[in-house]
Structure 1
Amino acid sequence: MQTIQRAIIRNNWTKEEIEAIYNKPLLELIYEAATVHRQYHKPDEVQVSTLLSIKTGGCPEDCSYCGQAARYHTDIKVQKLLPTEMVVAHAQKAKENGSSRFCMAAAWREVRDNRDFDRVIEMVEQINDLGLEVCCTLGMLTEDQAKRLQEAGLYAYNHNLDTSEEFYDEIISTRSFNNRLNTLQNVRKAGITLCSGGIIGLGETDRDRVSLLLTLANMETHPESVPINALARVKGTPMENMPKVDIWDMVRMIATARITMPKSMVRLSAGRIEMTEVEQAWCFMAGANSIFAGENKTLLVTPNPELSLDMQMFNRLGIKPMQNSKQETETVF
């Protein structure tokens, strides 16, 4: 019987190595990714994370893809920071529906040390007490702010790199690629796990996609969660007329992320609403083992599949929602 060697965790990839993986014949690439996936993860489990926008719109940034940027004329309604009790109620509902992680997103450029941040700290504390993994995405973060979040019980912080360093300035001018890396470093120093990935379909090349994965895969510790997003085209933004992302491009990105970062959760994120069940199944086969379930059929401000439909898909594919360590403890006792 042939023994398959366990994939080694590496942080010294070259661009040529990752490019060679990305460009493998598709079925060979998927097979390799599926093999690596089974060495570090249970193939029949997918983490369900609920994402809630706790402060919507009015962002001063100019991210070309984002409907929450104040400078673009979109139909998105600006909403101030939600009341703490409302957010906690959403988290409780998410837990009851099978989510193991609850993510809170605020359309801020950066965190400010004010009353709103104090309220976010309260939200983190109370949701942590529910037994959920708590995640936030709040923009740029200082080391002291990261420490406050960690002390409140924050499990993960999301801060996507979006695209390659080389292509970054074509998409965003109001903050630099290094600004994003600095926030990720501050999160690491505070002892919080990282959630960081990118978006495809912005007009980038395959080499840009490889470069993005190279940056993530060569971090001293890989991000514990790597979201792979397909551009959600929002009317009123500069990206509204971009073509739909090809499913096989998504599969290639997911598979390459899985092979280069074997232990990370690879999240099939934005863009699922335009994917068929069969297309999503290919993504799971290629190593995706996490999805976002948005409130009210939305992911922040863009459409997302209904949770009940996701559960039906899971049943047909033989997948079950993953439990976190806190929920496993509750189940035992």
Structure 2
Amino acid sequence: MQAYELQHTTGSDGWVAVEKPEPRPALGQALVRIHAVSLNYRDLIIARGTYPGLHVPVIPCSDGAGEVVAVGPGVTRVKPGDRVAPTFFQTWTDGERTPEKVARALGGAIPGVLAQYVCVDAEGLALLPDWLTYEEGATLPCAAVTAWNALVPQGGLQPGQTVLAQGTGGVSIFALQFARILGARVIITSSHDDKLQRAKQLGAEGLVNYRRAPDWEQQVLSLTGGQGVDHVLEVGGAGTLPHSVAATKEGGHIALIGLLTGAPGKPDNTATGNKQLRVVSTYVGSREMFEDMLQAMTRQQTRPVIDRVFPFAQAREALRYMESGGHFGKIVVAV
């Protein structure tokens, strides 16, 4: 079968096309023919060698969707023909996050999904509804589940509340979509006015260009009558966290997700002054969260936003496109 391996951590050039034997499912596993893979910022920092717990060589990418073609002994949860997406964490099915449950993340600690066939834990598969394409299903395991976890299980989002989403990458656009279907108001930031207008078409009510307004929290406060937002999806990291704290209302919630500015933010309540904020790190989520999210998406027929689909032979170009920051929503590779 055809696959990619990250063989050296030099960026996109480290993704090397290889031929590998088609895997066979062992006890408790399912063999999935992958139809589509989507990229996350995590894939880029893994390719650069700056991600913890990395074992090289490794098949990259955590997010894919495909069809079960065979199952190993003892598997009854899925069957050949099922349309599925592997979960980011193969052993976090439900309950609270523990070190054991998050020890096996695809595309990092264990082989990922940028291949024609993968063997994964049958318990680590989510069944995709028929109305989603494989390309759409591939966008969900990391970015969408992260946004859902931040807003619903962790955030307890309520109708009428206000959400601030930073940027227009996968997590933030999913947060915009989920917040809208749950009855919340959304403010979104970007350095590009054209992206802000696209976000407006998806339902964003507040638009903030942080390049023109470096102290963008002041615009957020103005948009909320001086109160601040109820929830922030903090994808920037340490460089943007002080702005997020200033933009959040007293008693509000900040979900620490990303490190686009170079270093992750830390859940340090001393940085929030006397605002009594809930600052919580969000690390994707469980299969149960994935399934709950799919139910909510199905009720509203909420389709993921895909910026561009690259052919399998151009996977490296897809990663370079992510590095450019020009995308709005998700980047997909068709396998």
TM-score (norm 1): 0.31
TM-score (norm 2): 0.31
Is the helix fraction higher in 1 or 2? 1
Is the strand fraction higher in 1 or 2? 2
Whose RCO is larger (CA < 8 A, sep 6+)?
1
